[in-house]
Amino acid sequence: MASKLTQDFERDLSIMTFSGDVTLEDHVSVTELFYEKPTADLIVDSSEIALNPLKYNDLSAFTQMLKEKNELRPKGRTALVVHTEVHFGLARMFESLYTARELSSEIGIFRSMDEAYAWLKSDK
């Protein structure tokens, strides 16, 4: 698994990039790094991950961790970028859990980085 966190504090934007086989621990470690100095906007680019989706329990545990860190990022938007139907479905499940936990930032699911950037720029 390869992961990378890029942060542009001037634009208040972070980009997490994942590729290959990704585990819950991979997501948690990069997210912990992000929350050391969070930005309002975040793109999670999962367009290059392998077809080994996380399980429901993993997603539930991950959204619970995000809930516990919610006060560190009271506003903002998170754009998830996926390319396959399997990952799109998984992202929708994550979105439902995210919404159920009443996290303060908005979430959107996109099939390209261009769409994600456009959404983040809208209504600002």
Domain boundaries, the chain: 2-121
Is the pLDDT at 65 greater than 60, yes or no? yes
Q: Where are the alpha helices (DSSP H) in the chain?
A: 24-34, 56-68, 85-100, 113-121
Q: How many residues does the chain have?
A: 124
Q: Residue 78: what pLDDT?
A: 93
Supply the DSSP symbol for 70.
G
Q: What φ, ψ does residue 53 adopt, rounded to 5°?
A: -60, 150
Is the pLDDT at 11 greater than 70, yes or no? yes
Cβ–Cβ contacts within 10 Å for residue 86, how many?
12
pLDDT mean over 24-52: 91
At 67-119, the pLDDT tens digits run 888 888 878 899 999 988 888 888 898 888 888 888 778 899 999 999 999 99
Cβ–Cβ contacts within 10 Å for residue 35, how many?
14
Please identify, in words, the CATH class of the domain defined by 2-121: alpha beta
Contact of 46 with 78, CB cutoff 8 Å: no
Supply the DSSP symbol for 76.
-
Closest CA relative to residue 40, chosen from 7, 1, 64: 7
Residue 23 is which amino acid? T
At 47-58, the pLDDT tens digits run 888 876 678 888
Q: Residue 43: what pLDDT?
A: 97
